[in-house]
Structure 1
């Protein structure tokens, strides 16, 4: 008998999702070992993931499963012991302007205003002052930060700092945006608001996003597909496509098909926790 979530997969395909999309980044047979004091720790074991153009991909797993390590390798901030990572047929050899990164910790330049933080990457790309100003103004409006244009990071709340960080990542139009638990330090209300904001931006602009989280509800709400990681050593346990309505609001979280998906993934993680 078909489960409720499987029925949702087959009956609620999102627009554009069925079109053939090109691969933005591929991680093939990724293994990561750490060695300290003659002890070898296997963090990731033969992981394979692919992020296609315009996808919103979430990677979920328990603490210590290696999901943030994997994201750092996609960013070029760390390197696999074995395997390869390719972004549009180019090997990843380090950080680059083709990838934007948003961390859980606030990484704004404290000596720059909100506007200058958003425009920092644009200046590095050599855009004219007029071009930079148009893009900065656009993202100040998108992020509801118009009244904080000249404020400094120390004057902002946590949620506002993350809005600036996301705007800075989006402004340069990178091929891929990588987000490492960006809402993990926020209170529940602000977190829900930020989830709604980033999902709405994705629906309007269709940036390609890879998003790491341990929050299953967050992943189901945001994603077009989810990679579920096993406990350490981290492996891809399951790839789950998310065929929920394209236009999403917070009331989606109360629907039966949403709850069924969340419970399905939660059961997968609970099962592996019990086997550790």
Structure 2
């Protein structure tokens, strides 16, 4: 296991200790994705190297089509790696595994199962005793604020509520790394803000290692301890931005000069010709 110090000086104490000094949890070496059809080969991701620390919240941002979701799927084992390798706790990853949980933009809930049954699904596969399953389910229902909807079906829930259940289901299985692919992209702005606050609180309380893909720079800055900025296709990580903001975060943080400056910096990397900060 690699031990290294993150790019945060001793004077920068806004981040939790987990994000300042920690073991490497998952890293990639020369990760490349090449799509091949009958006519040509397309280089989608070009020899990407990355390192995510234990208990970090890392977001990946970049222009549309840069390969950020493809990179996440390769980490999750849902897409093959053309070249290179991804290592989790000194284990080379090859295909999906229970050590990684995934949350997608689509809620991916079983429509015939209640909220409780959806969260229980993975716990049953792990063959946990029922009383232990019940405790875990009740814990995460309380965390996501849906205890009273325990017996509801997905069709009876709003979009934001469905996504809460998807997050609870993933976390209940206690994955070593939680992978999130634009999970709030389909939500209205108000619900999206609520979900961002909830996700930040869950991370602060539970300390999972999270890799979060988003096209929304503001969302990435609000949630993350560090941001990977990807270039246009072929996708490469062109910058790693540590986020020196308070550990406890509320939505009014988005109006502070420090937050705005980070958002502008990333926006200018992705849109260097823009005269004005568009924030996305």
Same fold (TM over 0.5): yes
RMSD: 1.9
CA deviation vs aligned residue, 1:60-91 (integer Å, no higher than 9, x gap) = 00110000000000000012111101111111
- Aligned counterparts of 2:89 and 2:69: Cα–Cα separation in 1: 22
Q: Which deviates more, 80-89 or 186-195?
A: 80-89
Other-structure match for 2:187 = 186
Deviation track 1:132-185 (CA, whole Å, cap 9, x = no partner) reads: 101101111111111110111111111111000000011111100000000000
C-alpha separation in 2, matches of 1:231 and 1:199: 28
Post-superposition, which runs of at least 4 consecutive aligned residues in structure 1 deviate over 6 A?
none
TM score, norm. by length of structure 2: 0.92
Matching residue of 2:100: 99
1:36 is matched with 37
Cα distance change of structure 1 residues 256 and 10 upon mapping to structure 2, 3 Å threshold: farther
Higher RCO, 1 vs 2 (CA within 8 Å, ≥6 residues apart)? 1
8 Å contact kept, 1:230–1:272: no
For the residues of structure 2 that align with 1:271 and 1:36, how far apart are their CA atoms?
Answer: 33
In structure 1, distance between residues paired with 2:256 and 2:95: 42
Q: 2:224, 2:273 → 1: CA distance? A: 22
Distance 1:20 1:118, change over 3 A: same
Sort the Cα spacing of 1:53 and 1:30 in 2 relative to 1 into closer, same or farther, 3 A: same
The C-alpha deviation readout for 1:27-50, integer Å capped at 9, x for no partner, is 111111101231211100011111
Output the CA distance in 2 between the equivalents of 1:261 and 1:93.
36
TM-score by length of 1: 0.93
Aligned position for 2:220:
219
- CA distance, structure 2, for counterparts of residue 127 and residue 251 of structure 1: 42
- Work out whether residues 19 and 55 of structure 2, in 8 Å CA contact, stay in contact via their aligned partners in 1: no
CA-to-partner distance for each residue in 1:205-230, whole Å, 9 max, x for gaps? 10110000010000000000000000
Distance 1:79 1:36 in 2: 15
Q: Which residue of 1 aligns with 2:148?
A: 147
CA contact (8 A) 1:179 1:212 kept: yes
Go from structure 1 to structure 2 and tell me whether the alpha carbon gap of 1:9 and 1:33 turns closer, same or farther (over 3 Å shift).
Answer: farther
- Residue matched to 1:261: 262
CA contact (8 A) 1:113 1:151 kept: yes
Structure 1: gaps of 5 or more residues: 1-7
Partner of 1:58: 59
Identify unmatched segments of 5+ residues in structure 2: 1-8, 276-280
Deviation at 1:10, TM superposition (A): 5.7
1:45 and 2:46 are equivalent in the alignment? yes
